Amino acid sequence: MKDGILIAYYSWSGHTDKVARIIQQKTDGKLLRIKPVNEYPADYSRCVDQAKKEIKIGYLPEIEAVPDYFDSYRTIFIGSPIWWHTMAPPVLTFLMNAKLTGTQIVPFCTHGGGGKGRFVADILKQCSNSTVLDDFELYGSGGRNVEVDITYWLSGIGIA
Ligand SMILES: Cc1cc2nc3c(=O)[nH]c(=O)nc-3n(C[C@H](O)[C@H](O)[C@H](O)COP(=O)(O)O)c2cc1C
């Protein structure tokens, strides 16, 4: 039987990591940071260029192995920075490998002001055999109310 909460996420510059950690504190879930085998360039414009090319062709970068027990979780939060209006490619690799079924998926993202774009729609495409709950989006690292906003969202979806 599926049980427990996993928070799987990728973060390049730390904003999504911050949200993931708050979710972890509020839910007592387990954190799983998705790591590409070849990390993206630290230089912003080089990273943006590489991401643009990858997303255009649907490239799936190799990610570091994730423990196979993750499929036993009942609820999996999926977090990503918004890159070119969708999830960062390592998160797509994770979802494609995971082939989740019968899981509660909870998307969350941070962005630079352009909103979540196709993020949730693209998660729905990959998770058609799971239930996708209402998502949370944040501009950058958020303001002073981030924790309150996250608490409010979590209670709205019936978690924590
Ligand atoms: C490669 C790349 C592409 C991005 N594309 C978008 C975008 O399409 N829309 C947007 O609002 N922000 C975009 N941003 C900004 C990030 O989504 C934003 O800074 C996010 O909070 C970063 O999360 P992180 O610190 O967890 O990596 C982009 C940033 C990068 C590096």
- For position 89, which CATH number holds? 3.40.50.360
Tokens describing residue 118: 């196709």
Per-residue pLDDT tens, the chain, 160 aa: give them.
889 999 999 999 999 999 999 999 999 999 999 999 999 999 999 999 999 999 999 999 999 999 888 888 999 999 999 999 999 999 999 999 998 999 999 999 999 999 999 999 999 999 999 999 999 999 999 999 999 999 999 999 999 8
Helix/strand number for the chain, H first, E second:
5, 7
116 in contact with ligand 1, CB cutoff 6 A: no
Query: What per-residue string of b and e applies to 149-158 under the rule 16 or more CB within 10 Å gives b?
Result: ebeebbeeee
- Per the structure, the complete domain to which residue 102 belongs is given by 5-156
Of 27, 31, 30, 28, the closest CA to residue 151 belongs to 27
110 in contact with ligand 1, CB cutoff 6 A: yes
Polymer length in residues for the chain = 160
Q: Based on the structure, what is the number of domains in the chain?
A: 1
83 in contact with ligand 1, CB cutoff 6 A: yes
First to last CA, the chain: 20
**Using an 8 Å Cβ cutoff, are 63 and 93 in contact?**
yes
